[in-house]
């Protein structure tokens, strides 16, 4: 018997039982998210070995990284959901144009967010940390991860392009490869090794964006779609954000909550800010099963609703 393809036929979401679909596509997503959560902890471990101010800096920038993820993943969710709907209607060309439009939206989101973040990074760090050392290191780390977040925006978009037709395996491989890249580069760039200089928190930031670009390159090989003509993009932008804005809004509100707590705790000590950041990074482990199922069920529901298979959608 030949090896089963990782790419599911476009009718799979409408033909197979819902339980079997989720059992097949959810485990790779959960595994990839587990690795992602693990490397956030590894980042903090190495920086904690280097400097306590650096560890505080990571906690200060953690909400900023969550906002980047909210914009990137939320846009991807809109693309993913609309593509699944187009596949259900047999409009494969429309699905490809949606993916191409999503890529340009990801690029535009990266440019706008990076510019705003770079302008506001120091004022934000100053209200979120007490010591000058923690503020300076937060600015260094935050500027690098925000300016270099293009890899995350593209990886999130192309991952959702693959997931729209049930290919969860390639995104899993990409995220694992990106996480391993980050983990391997962390000690080399933070502490220095051989010809590599000691870079501290800047090294941790460069390791993070290197991992994101590795993951983006893997999913981008088959996830890239040519954008439609500019005059036709409006018809895709509106449904993308109509379907994606709830995800962006929910994640952003959660981030505001953490920022407010950071500002309050900064009035007591940097150690309190550090502990809060570590707590929320650990907390992500407990939400991985729910997040994985949510990621997988959205394209399945969209596909079946488009086919008017309401009974399947309610199961």
Mean pLDDT (whole number) for 93-122: 94
Q: What is the pLDDT of residue 88?
A: 83
Which of 87, 99, 92 is CA-nearest to residue 237? 99
> What distance in Å separates the CA atoms of residue 99 and residue 256, rounded to the nearest whole number?
30
pLDDT band at 168 (very low <50, low <70, confident <90, very high): confident
Mean pLDDT (whole number) for 177-196 = 90
Binned at pLDDT 50, 70 and 90, residue 2 comes out as very low
Interval 29-46 mean pLDDT: 77
pLDDT bucket at 206, cuts 50 / 70 / 90: very high
Give 292's pLDDT tier (boundaries 50, 70, 90).
low
pLDDT value at residue 11: 57
Mean pLDDT for the stretch of residues 108-118: 94
Question: Residue 306: is its pLDDT beyond 60?
Answer: yes
Q: Which has more confidence, 194 or 123?
A: 123
Ranges 169-173, 255-259, 277-281: which has the least confidence: 277-281
Query: What pLDDT, on a 0 to 100 scale, did the predictor assign at position 300?
Result: 72
pLDDT digits (tens, 9 = 90+) for 70-100: 899 889 889 988 998 888 888 889 999 999 9
Higher pLDDT, 148 or 269: 148
Q: What is the rounded average pLDDT for all residues in the chain?
A: 84
The confidence score (pLDDT) of residue 201 equals 94
Residue 189: predicted pLDDT? 94
pLDDT at site 307: 64
14 pLDDT above the threshold of 70:
no
CA 54-60-61 angle, 5° bins: 90
CA–CA dist 99, 104 (Å, integer): 9
């Amino acid at each position: 018997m030949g090896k089963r393809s990782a790419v599911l036929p476009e009718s799979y979401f409408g033909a197979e039982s819902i339980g079997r679909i989720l059992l097949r596509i959810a485990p790779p997503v959960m595994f990839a998210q587990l690795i992602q959560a693990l490397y956030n902890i590894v980042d903090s471990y190495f920086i904690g070995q280097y400097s306590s101010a650096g560890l505080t800096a990571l906690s200060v920038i953690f909400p900023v990284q969550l906002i980047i993820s909210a914009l990137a993943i939320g846009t991807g969710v809109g693309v993913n959901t609309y593509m699944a709907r187009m596949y259900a209607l047999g409009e494969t060309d429309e699905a490809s144009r949606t993916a191409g439009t999503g890529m340009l939206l990801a690029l535009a989101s990266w440019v706008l967010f990076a510019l705003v973040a770079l302008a506001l990074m120091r004022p934000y760090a100053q209200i979120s940390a007490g010591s000058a050392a923690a503020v300076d290191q937060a600015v260094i780390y935050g500027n690098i991860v925000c300016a270099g977040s293009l890899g995350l925006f593209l990886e999130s978009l192309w991952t959702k392009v693959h997931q729209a037709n049930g290919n969860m395996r390639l995104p899993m491989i990409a995220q694992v490869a990106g996480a391993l890249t980050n983990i391997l580069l962390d000690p080399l760039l933070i502490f220095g090794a051989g010809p590599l200089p000691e870079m501290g928190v800047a090294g941790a930031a460069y390791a993070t964006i290197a991992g994101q670009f590795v993951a983006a390159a893997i999913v981008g090989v088959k996830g890239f779609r040519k954008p439609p003509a500019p005059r036709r993009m409006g018809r895709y932008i509106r449904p993308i954000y109509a379907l994606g804005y709830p995800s962006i809004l929910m994640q952003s509100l959660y981030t505001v909550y953490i920022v407010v707590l950071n500002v309050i705790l900064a009035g007591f000590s940097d150690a309190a800010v550090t502990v809060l950041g570590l707590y929320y990074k650990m907390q992500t482990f407990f939400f991985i099963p729910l997040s994985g199922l949510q990621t997988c069920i959205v394209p399945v529901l969209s596909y079946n609703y488009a086919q008017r298979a309401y009974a399947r959608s309610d199961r």
